[in-house]
Amino acid sequence: MRAAFLGLGIMGRPMAASLVKAGHEVTVWNRSAGKEVPGARAAATPREAAEGVEVVWICVSDTAAVEQVLFGENGVEGALKPGMIVVDSSTISPLETREFARRVGERGAEYVDAPVTGSKAGAETGQLIFMAGGSEETIEKLKPLWTAMGKSLFRMGDVSMGQASKLGMNLMIALTYEGFAEGLALTGKLGVKPDALMPLIQASMVRSGVIDYKAPFVLRRDFSPNFPLRLMHKDIQLMLDAAREQRVKLPGLETVAEIYDIAAEEGHDDLDYAATLTLLEKWAGVEVKGTAA
């Protein structure tokens, strides 16, 4: 297919590279210069990238960035034609997503929100999981593209249900990780070695995909960003906004949000969100280290 890919960050660049590898004709654009994808044509603006393609796939930081790319100066809007499909894999506001879809629809184009889970490793190996909102027919048309970047796609309902699901998924990830980190801090302070704790976790019902993925990084003290803390912090704000709108009380998340606020104030924005552990360690006066460290 002819596709434009907009946003070449930690997730976007390997996703665009997977499209090229699968033989699609890809044009890429990134806000700042210097990010490229071998085999893809580079465009100077989102509009230029979107000219003449069948699908525009977006993966940028937040709601404001998606709005800018779609409707800002030299945005995608100027190149939209009936039948084109806009897909957004960023994690953004479900409410704003409906508004973006409405505006894209005014030009006769379709809109699908398709945020992903699977982190940097999933993007680099083409093993992402998409959760999509949009019509069945439109999502079916996208199959050659999402199968190049991911291993599965779940249709969650109409437009914005992908984003709504993603907020729920990341809420569970943030709270699961926080449980793991607090468990490590307490057992560490009581004198349990993390190397002794890990096999116990693995053998029990505590085991989870989140812990499986994060534990090796944490135990070797590698807090380089797979999923930057600033992005999980952004998602937590989106969850709290949605909870306020819908009058849903989320007391666990509110407490975890405070930890992210402090982590951001302490300059951990560009580390992985796993670095929230370092605050617990500081408060407890303990450091969790496995033999791999």
Please report whether residue 68 would count as binding ligand NA7 according to CB under 6 A: yes
Task: Please choose, out of 20-28, 30-38, 95-103, 181-189, the segment that lies near ligand NA7 by the rule CB under 6 A.
Answer: 30-38
Site for ligand NA7 in 79-98 (CB under 6 A): 90-91
In the chain, the amino acid numbered 139 is I
State which residue, 68 or 176, has the beta carbon closest to ligand NA7: 68
Please report whether residue 187 would count as binding ligand NA7 according to CB under 6 A: no
State which residue, 61 or 208, has the beta carbon closest to ligand NA7: 61
Catalytic one of 35, 166, 234, 282: 166
Q: How near is the Cβ of 13 to ligand NA7 at its closest, in Å?
A: 8
Task: Please choose, out of 6-14, 73-81, 173-181, 186-194, the segment that lies near ligand NA7 by the rule CB under 6 A.
Answer: 6-14
Is 35 known to be catalytic? no
Binding ligand NA7 (rule: CB under 6 A), the pick from 1, 4, 5, 7 is 7
Please report whether residue 139 would count as binding ligand NA7 according to CB under 6 A: no
State which residue, 35 or 107, has the beta carbon closest to ligand NA7: 35
DSSP codes joined into one string, the chain: -EEEEE--STTHHHHHHHHHHTT-EEEEE-SSTT---TTSEE-SSHHHHHTT-SEEEE--SSHHHHHHHHHSTT-GGGG--TT-EEEE-S---HHHHHHHHHHHHTTT-EEEE--EESHHHHHHTT-EEEEEES-HHHHHHTHHHHHHHEEEEEEEESTTHHHHHHHHHHHHHHHHHHHHHHHHHHHHHHT--HHHHHHHHHHSTT--HHHHHHHHHHHTT----SSBHHHHHHHHHHHHHHHHHHT---HHHHHHHHHHHHHHHTT-TTSBGGGHHHHHHHHHT-----TT-
- Residue number with the shortest CB distance to ligand NA7? 9
Please report whether residue 31 would count as binding ligand NA7 according to CB under 6 A: yes
Residue 190 neighbours by CB distance under 10 Å: 8
128-133 and 116-117 beta bridge pairing:
antiparallel
Q: How near is the Cβ of 34 to ligand NA7 at its closest, in Å?
A: 8
Please report whether residue 11 would count as binding ligand NA7 according to CB under 6 A: yes
Q: How near is the Cβ of 3 to ligand NA7 at its closest, in Å?
A: 16
State which residue, 59 or 142, has the beta carbon closest to ligand NA7: 59
State which residue, 93 or 278, has the beta carbon closest to ligand NA7: 93
Is the dihedral angle over the CA atoms 94, 98, 99, 103 positive or is it negative? positive
User: Which residues make up the interface to ligand NA7 (CB under 6 A)?
Assistant: 7-12, 30-32, 35, 59-62, 65, 68-69, 90-91, 231, 235
Task: Write out the catalytic residue numbers.
Answer: 166
